[in-house]
Structure 1
Amino acid sequence: MFRTKQGRRRGPALALVAAASLMYALTGCSAERVTPGEARAEAGTDSGNRKGGGGASAADAVDCAAVKCIALTFDAGPGKDTPRLLDTLKEKRVRATFFLLGSKHVDRYPEVVKRIAAEGHEVANHTWSHRILTDLDAAEVRDELSRTQDAIERITGRKPTLMRPPQGRTDDTVSDVSRELGLAQVLWSITAKDYSTVDSALIRERVLGQAHRDGIILLHDIYDGTVPAVPGIINELKRQGYTFVTVPQLLAPGKAEPGVIYRPEKDD
């Protein structure tokens, strides 16, 4: 959380309160929303008071305050093309964040889930059956998230610390349950809308056209056009000077706090 200590960071704290008030008025969600840059800056002055999982280890640390970072994330897998995607990421030496779907995905491809974790990618939660969480009561939200938490833990030995709500829809109930389960909420700032096209060139063009420092790219490794687009996306963004990181690396030295919503802004 952003706190004022002996007068420090009063301005940023008040700005966040104002932003949170506006967000509540528009969406009914009063949960704190934090950009990667804010997470890093706050950790630099108040790191002793921050809690929550999902931080990058010292061995994996990247200074995204100094380096032009971007996070590649994939939703709703694993699927039949995920092994080919993992081959590409390994070849390109890129780590990504996978927001995995439980039903018909985690339970269907446990060996792929195990490989995702073993190859150093961040394994995260995208619910059990992709129900819109804002349409559910607290018990139903808890079931959607906890079933996937348990399934991933059985395979990898570790529960995720990050989740992404389907369609990015969240509210106070979702935030409260996420906090209870130790999950931070991660949204995005770059989307190819790859669910609407199988044109890999178009997917690549859409991502490159929106790319920005501290951005979080949303793709889906379950659609036919997406995995073939990834090599070109990686090659061009590396050429432009971007460093690919996982979401925890993007926030480091900050750590993702349960219940908090993390979303980049293009003017970070």
Structure 2
Amino acid sequence: MKKVSKVFMLPLVGAAICVISACGSTGVPEAKNETTVAETGETPVEQESVEIKIESNAAPAEMKIERAKFPYPYTARALTAVNMHVDSESDSAVVGVLEENAPVSVERNIEGWDQFSANGQTCYVLKKYLIPDDYIAMNNQFLGAPLDLSNIDPEKPMIALTFDDGPKAEVTNRILDSLQQYGGHATFFMQGSRVVGENNDCVKRMVELGCELGNHTYTHDYLDSIPVENIRSVIRKCDYMVEETVKVAPTVFRPPGGNRSGEIASAVGNLGLPMIIWSIDPLDYSTKDADNTFNVVMEKAQDGDIVLMHDTYSETADAAERLIPALIEKGFQLVTVSEMAQAKKFPMIPGNEVYNMREK
């Protein structure tokens, strides 16, 4: 199988053509872009050997890490169809719609709004929706950085609860409430397109509570159904939405549906991300049965397991509110994937698949 080892970087250009459609009276809301997630069975597959060349501006872990800055003008592209405003305020007049993936030449930024010209007119779009062509996420620099493990006992059992497809405020916040109440951590594999509106506050809470941010592509993109050269884009778009919200990018990645191959692993590895799979799948997305989810996890839980759930269903929140205290009472420490890796000295290698961290 072909091994992908080159870095997919788009060059900066001085100017670009703006693709615009006529804007009706309603326009396109900046903060509403929910997606429908396809539900599929997710089955582990045998991992192939891959060749990795990490895309990174990484600095040593002990150095202060700052976000990349781009000299003006620089080329950026619309993450989704988005309203263009006449001024750098959300209540200013809408002059048109910038179509998805349309390139613009960003001239400056005013209080979170990028300024550019379209059809001879100065326009503004929230910076969050314009990803620079030369964007490299901060996650490459954070990967492997030391974590605070002072509250984790490496000699005691631990388990990593993970949640896919969110955030979805009414569900995710309930899970975060329970984690906060009982002092546990979890890893959330998010769709970048969902990091909007009230869901933004969920991501901020994750960071505040010590949870881990995970990448689940921009719109639950199945990587085996798109050209391998597009993998970078769907992952980086998610990174960018999260990083623009909390100034921290996801540090781990889970392929939607668990779909993967040697080429996919190589492309993901080039972006500096390990692929986190799972060892316990209670099929919460299929059964939508809180009792079943609770019982499956409690019966199968072992030290070093990674549990797959989805924070888009109220039934999963019902189960999580029971699971979190029950697992702790059973003697488990609830940790993030990266916390468990560092506590157990388990190697997290870009592009490699991680199913669990049980002792051999």
TM-score by length of 2: 0.58
Distance 1:248 1:211, change over 3 A: same
Residue-pair matches, total: 223
Cα distance per residue 1:81-114 (max 9 Å; x no partner):
11121111100111100001112x1134222212
Equivalent residues in 2 for 1:119-158, closer than 5 Å: 119-158=209-248
The structure carrying a bigger helix percent of its residues is 1
How far, CA to CA, are the matches of 2:47 and 2:354 in structure 1?
A: 17
The aligned runs of 1:228-239 (5 Å cut-off) are: 228-239=318-329
* 2:161 matches 1:72: yes
C-alpha separation in 2, matches of 1:28 and 1:200: 32
From 17, 26, 30, the counterpart of 2:49: 30
What amino acid maps onto 1:165 in structure 2?
P
Q: Which segments of 5 or more consecutive residues in structure 2 lack a partner in the other structure? A: 1-44, 52-140
Task: Provide the rounded CA distance (Å) in 2 between the counterparts of 1:255 and 1:60.
Answer: 20
User: Is the contact between residue 72 and residue 245 of structure 1 (CA under 8 Å) also seen in structure 2?
Assistant: yes
* Structure 1 match to 2:95: none
In the alignment, the residues of structure 2 paired with residue 28 and residue 192 of structure 1 have an alpha-carbon distance, to the nearest angstrom, of 23
Which residue is equivalent to 2:350?
258
| Cα distance change on mapping 1:59 and 1:203 into 2, 3 Å | closer
Supply the distance in 1 between the matched residues of 2:145 and 2:291 (Cα, whole angstroms): 34
Corresponding residue for residue 188 of structure 1: 278
RCO higher in structure (CA 8 A, sep ≥6): 1
CA contact (8 A) 1:189 1:266 kept: no
> Is the 1:86–1:116 contact (alpha carbons within 8 Å) kept by the matching residues of 2?
yes
Which amino acid is 1:141 matched to?
A: I
Q: Aligned in 2, Cα 1:54/1:191: closer, same or farther, shift over 3 Å?
A: farther
Of structures 1 and 2, the larger Rg is shown by 2
Q: Which runs of 4+ in 1 moved over 3 A?
A: 58-61, 265-268
Percent identity of the aligned residues?
31
Provide the C-alpha distance between the structure 1 equivalents of 2:165 and 2:143, rounded to a whole number of angstroms.
22
1:12 corresponding residue in structure 2: none
Please state if 1:168 is matched with 2:258: yes
> What is the alpha-carbon distance in structure 1 between the residues aligned to residue 212 and residue 142 of structure 2?
15
Give the SS at the match of 1:204. helix
Shift of 1:30: 2.2
Q: Which residue of 2 aligns with 1:222?
A: 312
What are the superposed Cα offsets for residues 122-149 of structure 1, whole Å, 9 maximum, x if unpaired?
Answer: 0110111112112222222111101001
Cα distance change on mapping 1:174 and 1:61 into 2, 3 Å: farther
1:97 and 1:216 map into 2 onto residues whose CA distance is 10
TM-score (norm 1): 0.76
